[in-house]
Amino acid sequence: MHYNFDQVHRRDNTLSLKWNPNFYSGEFHGRTDLLPLWVADMDYAVSDGILKRFQKVLDGKIFGYAGFDAEYFEAVAHWNKKRHGVEIRRETVLFTPGIVPALDYAVRTFVKEGEAVIIQRPVYYPFAKAIENNGRKLVNSPLLERPGGDYGMNYADFEQKIVENQVKLFILCNPHNPVGQVWKREELEKIAAICLEHKVIMLSDEIHYDLMFYGAKFTSVLTLPDEIKNNSIVCNAVSKTFNLAGLQVSNTIIHNPELRARFRQTLERSHVALPNAFAVEGVKGCYYESDDWYEQMIKYIEGNITFAADYISARIKPLSMRRHQGTYLGWIDARGLELGNEQLADLCEARAKVAFDYGYWFGPEGEGFLRINLACTRATLEQALKKLERAVQSRQKGALLKLTFRR
Ligand SMILES: Cc1ncc(COP(=O)(O)O)c(C=O)c1O
Protein backbone atom coordinates (compact mmCIF):
# COMPACT_ATOMS: atom_id res chain seq x y z
CA MET A 1 0.00 0.00 0.00
CA HIS A 2 1.21 3.51 -0.84
CA TYR A 3 1.03 6.21 1.86
CA ASN A 4 1.09 9.93 1.15
CA PHE A 5 3.25 11.63 3.76
CA ASP A 6 2.69 15.00 2.09
CA GLN A 7 -0.95 14.89 3.11
CA VAL A 8 -1.78 17.55 5.69
CA HIS A 9 -3.77 16.35 8.69
CA ARG A 10 -5.10 19.23 10.74
CA ARG A 11 -4.09 18.71 14.34
CA ASP A 12 -4.87 22.12 15.84
CA ASN A 13 -8.47 21.01 16.37
CA THR A 14 -7.43 17.81 18.20
CA LEU A 15 -5.97 17.16 21.64
CA SER A 16 -2.45 17.20 20.18
CA LEU A 17 0.07 18.58 22.68
CA LYS A 18 2.31 19.75 19.84
CA TRP A 19 -0.37 21.72 18.00
CA ASN A 20 -2.49 23.06 20.87
CA PRO A 21 -1.06 26.25 22.40
CA ASN A 22 -3.35 25.88 25.42
CA PHE A 23 -1.27 22.87 26.39
CA TYR A 24 2.21 24.16 25.62
CA SER A 25 2.34 27.94 25.66
CA GLY A 26 4.11 27.89 29.05
CA GLU A 27 7.18 26.53 27.26
CA PHE A 28 7.28 29.45 24.84
CA HIS A 29 6.62 32.63 26.85
CA GLY A 30 2.86 32.26 26.53
CA ARG A 31 2.91 32.49 22.73
CA THR A 32 0.06 30.91 20.83
CA ASP A 33 1.08 31.77 17.26
CA LEU A 34 4.00 29.40 16.66
CA LEU A 35 4.42 26.75 13.97
CA PRO A 36 5.20 23.68 16.12
CA LEU A 37 8.32 21.66 15.29
CA TRP A 38 9.19 20.78 18.85
CA VAL A 39 7.77 17.80 20.81
CA ALA A 40 8.71 14.48 19.18
CA ASP A 41 5.65 13.07 17.51
CA MET A 42 4.83 12.86 13.81
CA ASP A 43 2.30 14.77 11.73
CA TYR A 44 1.56 11.57 9.74
CA ALA A 45 -1.53 9.37 9.92
CA VAL A 46 -0.71 5.91 11.23
CA SER A 47 -0.68 2.77 9.07
CA ASP A 48 -3.80 0.93 7.95
CA GLY A 49 -2.57 -2.11 9.87
CA ILE A 50 -2.76 -0.13 13.12
CA LEU A 51 -6.17 1.34 12.26
CA LYS A 52 -7.56 -2.12 11.57
CA ARG A 53 -6.41 -3.30 14.97
CA PHE A 54 -8.01 -0.27 16.64
CA GLN A 55 -11.21 -0.95 14.73
CA LYS A 56 -11.26 -4.45 16.19
CA VAL A 57 -11.17 -2.94 19.71
CA LEU A 58 -13.89 -0.43 18.80
CA ASP A 59 -16.06 -3.18 17.37
CA GLY A 60 -15.99 -4.86 20.78
CA LYS A 61 -17.75 -1.72 22.15
CA ILE A 62 -16.53 -2.36 25.69
CA PHE A 63 -13.34 -0.84 27.06
CA GLY A 64 -12.78 -2.56 30.38
CA TYR A 65 -9.48 -3.67 31.88
CA ALA A 66 -7.19 -5.41 29.41
CA GLY A 67 -4.20 -7.74 29.51
CA PHE A 68 -1.26 -8.83 27.36
CA ASP A 69 -1.89 -11.95 25.29
CA ALA A 70 0.75 -14.24 23.78
CA GLU A 71 0.43 -12.52 20.38
CA TYR A 72 1.69 -9.26 21.91
CA PHE A 73 4.98 -10.84 23.01
CA GLU A 74 5.28 -12.73 19.72
CA ALA A 75 4.88 -9.46 17.83
CA VAL A 76 7.61 -7.76 19.91
CA ALA A 77 9.95 -10.74 19.40
CA HIS A 78 9.15 -10.90 15.67
CA TRP A 79 10.04 -7.25 14.94
CA ASN A 80 13.12 -7.18 17.11
CA LYS A 81 14.48 -10.34 15.47
CA LYS A 82 13.63 -9.32 11.93
CA ARG A 83 14.78 -5.70 12.11
CA HIS A 84 17.56 -5.79 14.68
CA GLY A 85 18.74 -9.39 15.01
CA VAL A 86 17.70 -9.36 18.66
CA GLU A 87 16.30 -12.46 20.37
CA ILE A 88 13.74 -11.50 23.00
CA ARG A 89 12.37 -14.09 25.38
CA ARG A 90 8.90 -13.38 26.72
CA GLU A 91 9.82 -13.58 30.40
CA THR A 92 12.44 -10.82 29.98
CA VAL A 93 9.86 -8.23 28.84
CA LEU A 94 8.19 -6.05 31.46
CA PHE A 95 5.39 -3.62 30.66
CA THR A 96 5.98 0.04 31.44
CA PRO A 97 3.56 2.85 30.58
CA GLY A 98 6.23 4.75 28.64
CA ILE A 99 9.99 5.06 28.76
CA VAL A 100 10.11 8.20 30.88
CA PRO A 101 8.26 6.37 33.68
CA ALA A 102 10.63 3.41 33.15
CA LEU A 103 13.62 5.70 33.76
CA ASP A 104 12.04 6.85 36.97
CA TYR A 105 11.38 3.28 38.15
CA ALA A 106 14.96 2.26 37.28
CA VAL A 107 16.46 5.15 39.22
CA ARG A 108 14.31 4.33 42.23
CA THR A 109 15.10 0.61 42.00
CA PHE A 110 18.84 0.57 41.44
CA VAL A 111 20.11 3.79 43.06
CA LYS A 112 19.65 4.84 46.67
CA GLU A 113 18.89 8.43 47.62
CA GLY A 114 22.01 10.56 47.40
CA GLU A 115 23.82 8.03 45.17
CA ALA A 116 24.91 8.98 41.65
CA VAL A 117 23.65 8.39 38.11
CA ILE A 118 25.71 9.34 35.05
CA ILE A 119 24.41 10.75 31.74
CA GLN A 120 26.02 12.24 28.62
CA ARG A 121 24.80 15.72 27.89
CA PRO A 122 23.43 17.22 25.77
CA VAL A 123 20.76 14.59 26.26
CA TYR A 124 16.97 14.17 26.41
CA TYR A 125 16.10 16.30 29.44
CA PRO A 126 13.83 13.86 31.32
CA PHE A 127 17.01 11.86 32.06
CA ALA A 128 18.15 14.65 34.37
CA LYS A 129 14.67 15.03 35.83
CA ALA A 130 14.41 11.32 36.65
CA ILE A 131 17.64 11.63 38.62
CA GLU A 132 17.14 14.97 40.36
CA ASN A 133 13.42 14.68 41.08
CA ASN A 134 14.17 11.45 42.93
CA GLY A 135 16.90 13.02 45.07
CA ARG A 136 19.75 11.20 43.32
CA LYS A 137 22.99 12.88 42.28
CA LEU A 138 23.40 13.82 38.62
CA VAL A 139 26.86 13.27 37.14
CA ASN A 140 27.53 14.41 33.59
CA SER A 141 30.15 13.18 31.18
CA PRO A 142 29.56 15.45 28.17
CA LEU A 143 29.70 14.08 24.65
CA LEU A 144 32.65 15.17 22.53
CA GLU A 145 31.85 17.19 19.44
CA ARG A 146 33.96 16.09 16.46
CA PRO A 147 34.84 18.19 13.42
CA GLY A 148 31.92 18.01 10.97
CA GLY A 149 29.33 17.91 13.75
CA ASP A 150 29.45 14.23 14.74
CA TYR A 151 29.64 13.30 18.39
CA GLY A 152 31.66 10.75 20.36
CA MET A 153 31.94 9.53 23.94
CA ASN A 154 34.66 10.68 26.33
CA TYR A 155 35.73 7.35 27.86
CA ALA A 156 38.47 8.70 30.14
CA ASP A 157 36.20 11.38 31.58
CA PHE A 158 33.33 8.87 31.92
CA GLU A 159 35.47 6.41 33.88
CA GLN A 160 37.02 9.09 36.07
CA LYS A 161 33.61 10.51 37.00
CA ILE A 162 32.27 7.03 37.77
CA VAL A 163 35.12 6.40 40.16
CA GLU A 164 35.03 9.84 41.78
CA ASN A 165 31.27 9.73 42.37
CA GLN A 166 30.78 6.00 42.95
CA VAL A 167 28.15 6.01 40.23
CA LYS A 168 25.54 3.21 40.32
CA LEU A 169 23.60 3.67 37.07
CA PHE A 170 24.36 4.94 33.56
CA ILE A 171 21.50 6.12 31.35
CA LEU A 172 22.52 5.82 27.70
CA CYS A 173 20.57 7.31 24.81
CA ASN A 174 20.94 4.87 21.89
CA PRO A 175 20.59 6.38 19.30
CA HIS A 176 21.18 9.75 20.84
CA ASN A 177 18.49 12.43 21.22
CA PRO A 178 19.13 15.31 20.47
CA VAL A 179 22.40 14.97 18.51
CA GLY A 180 21.21 12.11 16.27
CA GLN A 181 24.33 9.99 16.77
CA VAL A 182 24.01 6.26 16.07
CA TRP A 183 26.43 4.50 18.41
CA LYS A 184 28.69 1.87 16.87
CA ARG A 185 29.18 -1.58 18.36
CA GLU A 186 32.78 -0.72 19.38
CA GLU A 187 31.62 2.42 21.17
CA LEU A 188 28.89 0.55 23.02
CA GLU A 189 31.23 -2.27 24.00
CA LYS A 190 33.81 0.17 25.29
CA ILE A 191 31.40 2.16 27.44
CA ALA A 192 29.70 -1.05 28.64
CA ALA A 193 33.07 -2.52 29.65
CA ILE A 194 33.72 0.52 31.87
CA CYS A 195 30.32 0.03 33.47
CA LEU A 196 31.02 -3.66 34.11
CA GLU A 197 34.43 -2.94 35.57
CA HIS A 198 32.97 -0.48 38.09
CA LYS A 199 29.67 -2.31 38.77
CA VAL A 200 27.54 0.38 37.18
CA ILE A 201 24.23 -0.87 35.73
CA MET A 202 23.65 0.36 32.17
CA LEU A 203 20.18 1.43 31.02
CA SER A 204 19.95 1.81 27.25
CA ASP A 205 17.02 3.94 26.09
CA GLU A 206 16.43 2.61 22.57
CA ILE A 207 13.12 4.34 21.85
CA HIS A 208 14.42 5.73 18.52
CA TYR A 209 15.90 2.37 17.44
CA ASP A 210 14.03 1.99 14.17
CA LEU A 211 14.71 5.52 12.96
CA MET A 212 17.89 4.99 10.95
CA PHE A 213 18.81 7.02 7.88
CA TYR A 214 21.36 6.98 5.05
CA GLY A 215 21.97 3.25 5.52
CA ALA A 216 22.95 3.50 9.20
CA LYS A 217 22.68 0.31 11.22
CA PHE A 218 21.33 0.30 14.75
CA THR A 219 23.11 -1.78 17.40
CA SER A 220 21.02 -2.81 20.36
CA VAL A 221 22.71 -3.40 23.68
CA LEU A 222 20.75 -6.68 23.54
CA THR A 223 23.14 -7.89 20.80
CA LEU A 224 26.27 -7.34 22.92
CA PRO A 225 28.02 -10.21 24.78
CA ASP A 226 26.11 -11.94 27.60
CA GLU A 227 28.03 -10.37 30.47
CA ILE A 228 27.04 -6.89 29.17
CA LYS A 229 23.44 -7.98 28.57
CA ASN A 230 23.31 -9.27 32.12
CA ASN A 231 24.34 -5.86 33.40
CA SER A 232 21.83 -3.96 31.26
CA ILE A 233 18.26 -2.76 31.06
CA VAL A 234 16.91 -1.96 27.61
CA CYS A 235 13.87 0.21 26.93
CA ASN A 236 12.13 0.19 23.57
CA ALA A 237 8.68 0.96 22.19
CA VAL A 238 6.57 1.45 19.09
CA SER A 239 5.83 5.03 20.08
CA LYS A 240 8.40 6.99 18.04
CA THR A 241 8.61 4.63 15.08
CA PHE A 242 4.89 4.31 14.41
CA ASN A 243 3.61 7.58 15.90
CA LEU A 244 1.80 6.05 18.87
CA ALA A 245 3.33 7.97 21.79
CA GLY A 246 -0.09 8.73 23.23
CA LEU A 247 -0.83 5.03 23.82
CA GLN A 248 1.65 4.89 26.69
CA VAL A 249 3.07 1.44 26.27
CA SER A 250 6.75 0.49 26.28
CA ASN A 251 8.87 -2.59 26.90
CA THR A 252 11.56 -2.79 29.54
CA ILE A 253 13.73 -5.78 28.72
CA ILE A 254 15.91 -7.18 31.50
CA HIS A 255 17.91 -10.38 30.97
CA ASN A 256 19.36 -10.69 34.42
CA PRO A 257 16.70 -12.39 36.62
CA GLU A 258 17.92 -10.70 39.78
CA LEU A 259 17.74 -7.18 38.27
CA ARG A 260 14.40 -8.09 36.71
CA ALA A 261 12.92 -9.18 40.03
CA ARG A 262 13.99 -5.93 41.66
CA PHE A 263 12.53 -3.82 38.87
CA ARG A 264 9.32 -5.84 38.93
CA GLN A 265 8.98 -5.16 42.63
CA THR A 266 9.05 -1.40 41.97
CA LEU A 267 6.39 -1.81 39.28
CA GLU A 268 4.21 -3.78 41.66
CA ARG A 269 4.64 -1.20 44.41
CA SER A 270 3.59 1.51 41.96
CA HIS A 271 0.62 -0.56 40.73
CA VAL A 272 1.92 -0.58 37.16
CA ALA A 273 0.30 -3.65 35.70
CA LEU A 274 -2.35 -3.24 33.07
CA PRO A 275 -2.25 -1.86 29.54
CA ASN A 276 -5.23 -0.57 27.58
CA ALA A 277 -6.59 -2.67 24.74
CA PHE A 278 -5.72 -0.07 22.07
CA ALA A 279 -2.08 -0.24 23.11
CA VAL A 280 -1.91 -4.04 22.97
CA GLU A 281 -3.61 -4.29 19.58
CA GLY A 282 -1.74 -1.21 18.31
CA VAL A 283 1.65 -2.78 19.02
CA LYS A 284 0.63 -5.91 17.09
CA GLY A 285 -0.53 -3.73 14.19
CA CYS A 286 2.88 -2.02 14.15
CA TYR A 287 5.06 -5.06 14.33
CA TYR A 288 3.02 -7.36 12.07
CA GLU A 289 1.14 -5.14 9.64
CA SER A 290 3.01 -1.87 9.08
CA ASP A 291 6.20 -2.72 7.17
CA ASP A 292 5.09 -0.84 4.07
CA TRP A 293 4.24 2.30 6.06
CA TYR A 294 7.52 2.04 7.98
CA GLU A 295 9.71 1.73 4.91
CA GLN A 296 7.99 4.64 3.13
CA MET A 297 8.16 6.79 6.27
CA ILE A 298 11.94 6.26 6.53
CA LYS A 299 12.44 7.36 2.91
CA TYR A 300 10.22 10.41 3.40
CA ILE A 301 11.97 11.59 6.57
CA GLU A 302 15.38 10.96 5.02
CA GLY A 303 14.22 13.32 2.26
CA ASN A 304 13.28 15.85 4.93
CA ILE A 305 16.71 15.61 6.57
CA THR A 306 18.42 16.19 3.22
CA PHE A 307 16.04 19.04 2.38
CA ALA A 308 16.58 20.80 5.73
CA ALA A 309 20.36 20.36 5.73
CA ASP A 310 20.65 21.69 2.16
CA TYR A 311 18.22 24.56 2.75
CA ILE A 312 20.01 25.70 5.88
CA SER A 313 23.48 25.54 4.36
CA ALA A 314 22.37 27.39 1.19
CA ARG A 315 20.10 30.02 2.71
CA ILE A 316 20.36 30.46 6.47
CA LYS A 317 23.99 31.32 7.08
CA PRO A 318 25.68 31.07 9.56
CA LEU A 319 23.42 28.18 10.66
CA SER A 320 24.08 24.55 9.76
CA MET A 321 22.52 21.13 10.28
CA ARG A 322 24.38 17.94 9.51
CA ARG A 323 22.69 14.95 7.87
CA HIS A 324 22.46 12.93 11.04
CA GLN A 325 21.80 9.18 10.95
CA GLY A 326 19.45 8.42 13.84
CA THR A 327 16.11 9.82 15.15
CA TYR A 328 13.87 12.21 13.21
CA LEU A 329 15.23 15.15 15.17
CA GLY A 330 17.63 17.56 13.48
CA TRP A 331 20.28 19.41 15.50
CA ILE A 332 20.68 22.90 14.08
CA ASP A 333 23.89 24.66 15.02
CA ALA A 334 23.03 28.33 15.48
CA ARG A 335 26.11 29.22 17.52
CA GLY A 336 27.37 31.42 14.67
CA LEU A 337 24.63 33.93 15.53
CA GLU A 338 26.33 34.49 18.88
CA LEU A 339 23.06 34.87 20.77
CA GLY A 340 22.35 34.06 24.40
CA ASN A 341 19.55 31.62 25.26
CA GLU A 342 16.91 34.32 25.67
CA GLN A 343 17.95 36.13 22.49
CA LEU A 344 17.84 32.92 20.45
CA ALA A 345 14.40 32.14 21.91
CA ASP A 346 13.29 35.63 20.97
CA LEU A 347 14.52 35.14 17.40
CA CYS A 348 12.60 31.87 17.07
CA GLU A 349 9.43 32.94 18.82
CA ALA A 350 8.98 36.66 18.17
CA ARG A 351 10.61 36.88 14.73
CA ALA A 352 10.34 33.42 13.12
CA LYS A 353 7.23 32.29 15.03
CA VAL A 354 8.39 28.70 15.11
CA ALA A 355 8.51 26.43 18.17
CA PHE A 356 11.73 24.39 18.33
CA ASP A 357 13.18 22.56 21.31
CA TYR A 358 16.00 24.79 22.54
CA GLY A 359 19.40 23.17 22.75
CA TYR A 360 20.00 24.44 26.28
CA TRP A 361 17.02 22.39 27.54
CA PHE A 362 19.31 19.36 26.99
CA GLY A 363 22.09 20.82 29.16
CA PRO A 364 24.53 23.72 28.83
CA GLU A 365 26.41 21.79 26.10
CA GLY A 366 23.36 22.36 23.87
CA GLU A 367 23.44 26.15 24.10
CA GLY A 368 23.27 27.82 20.70
CA PHE A 369 21.54 24.79 19.10
CA LEU A 370 17.93 24.21 18.07
CA ARG A 371 16.31 20.78 17.84
CA ILE A 372 13.91 20.54 14.93
CA ASN A 373 11.27 17.82 14.59
CA LEU A 374 11.55 16.64 10.98
CA ALA A 375 8.60 14.22 11.12
CA CYS A 376 6.30 16.71 9.47
CA THR A 377 5.18 17.29 5.89
CA ARG A 378 7.75 18.74 3.51
CA ALA A 379 5.48 21.79 3.14
CA THR A 380 5.46 22.42 6.91
CA LEU A 381 9.22 21.98 7.01
CA GLU A 382 9.75 24.42 4.15
CA GLN A 383 7.44 26.94 5.79
CA ALA A 384 9.35 26.70 9.09
CA LEU A 385 12.72 27.06 7.40
CA LYS A 386 11.52 30.07 5.39
CA LYS A 387 10.33 31.70 8.62
CA LEU A 388 13.68 31.01 10.25
CA GLU A 389 15.52 32.34 7.20
CA ARG A 390 13.55 35.60 7.23
CA ALA A 391 14.08 35.99 10.99
CA VAL A 392 17.84 35.52 10.68
CA GLN A 393 18.01 37.92 7.74
CA SER A 394 15.95 40.59 9.50
CA ARG A 395 18.13 40.28 12.58
CA GLN A 396 21.28 40.63 10.51
CA LYS A 397 19.85 43.69 8.73
CA GLY A 398 18.94 45.15 12.11
CA ALA A 399 22.45 44.53 13.40
CA LEU A 400 23.94 46.13 10.27
CA LEU A 401 21.74 49.20 10.66
CA LYS A 402 22.80 49.59 14.26
CA LEU A 403 26.45 49.36 13.21
CA THR A 404 26.00 52.00 10.46
CA PHE A 405 24.15 54.28 12.84
CA ARG A 406 26.91 54.04 15.43
CA ARG A 407 29.52 55.09 12.87
C1 LIG B 1 15.24 9.32 24.30
C2 LIG B 1 13.79 9.37 24.63
N3 LIG B 1 13.31 8.60 25.62
C4 LIG B 1 12.00 8.61 25.95
C5 LIG B 1 11.10 9.44 25.27
C6 LIG B 1 9.66 9.45 25.67
O7 LIG B 1 9.24 8.21 26.03
P8 LIG B 1 7.74 7.91 26.51
O9 LIG B 1 6.84 8.78 25.73
O10 LIG B 1 7.59 6.46 26.21
O11 LIG B 1 7.70 8.18 27.98
C12 LIG B 1 11.57 10.25 24.25
C13 LIG B 1 10.65 11.15 23.55
O14 LIG B 1 11.02 12.00 22.79
C15 LIG B 1 12.93 10.22 23.91
O16 LIG B 1 13.43 10.97 22.93
Contact (Cβ atoms closer than 8 angstroms) between residue 17 and residue 24: yes
Evaluated on CA atoms 113, 118, 119, 121, the torsion sign reads positive
CA of 356 to the centre of ligand 1 (A): 17
39, pLDDT greater than 90: yes
Detail the DSSP E strand segments found in 197-319: 201-205, 232-236, 250-254
402, pLDDT greater than 80: no
Number of H helices, E strands in the chain: 13, 15
> Higher pLDDT residue, 261 or 404?
261
Protein residue closest via CA to atom 7 of ligand 1: 99
Residues at CB less than 6 angstroms from ligand 1: 40, 98-100, 124, 173, 177, 205, 207, 237, 239, 245, 250
Least confident of 25-34, 269-278, 317-326, 374-383: 25-34
- Strand-pair partners of 331: 371
* pLDDT value, residue 282: 98
Report the predicted TM-score, pTM, of the whole model to 2 decimal places: 0.96
* pLDDT value, residue 395: 81
What average pLDDT score do residues 59-83 get?
97
pLDDT grade for 407, boundaries at 50, 70 and 90: very low
* pLDDT value, residue 23: 87
CA of 400 to the centre of ligand 1 (A): 42
Name which of 57, 108, 42 is nearest 275 in CA terms: 57
What domains sit in the chain, N to C, each tagged with a CATH number?
A: 21-47+291-406 (3.90.1150.10), 50-289 (3.40.640.10)
**327-380 pLDDT tens trace:** 999 999 999 999 999 999 999 999 999 999 999 999 999 999 999 999 999 999
**287-311 pLDDT tens trace:** 999 999 999 999 999 999 999 999 9
Give Cβ neighbours of residue 69 (< 8 Å, ≥ 6 apart): 280
392, pLDDT greater than 50: yes
**148-172 pLDDT tens trace:** 889 999 999 999 999 999 999 999 9
CA of 239 to the centre of ligand 1 (A): 8
DSSP 45: P
115, pLDDT greater than 50: yes
* Cα distance between residue 285 and residue 223, in whole Å: 25
399, pLDDT greater than 80: no
pLDDT grade for 398, boundaries at 50, 70 and 90: low
* pLDDT value, residue 386: 98
What is the share, in percent, of the chain residues with pLDDT greater than 70? 97
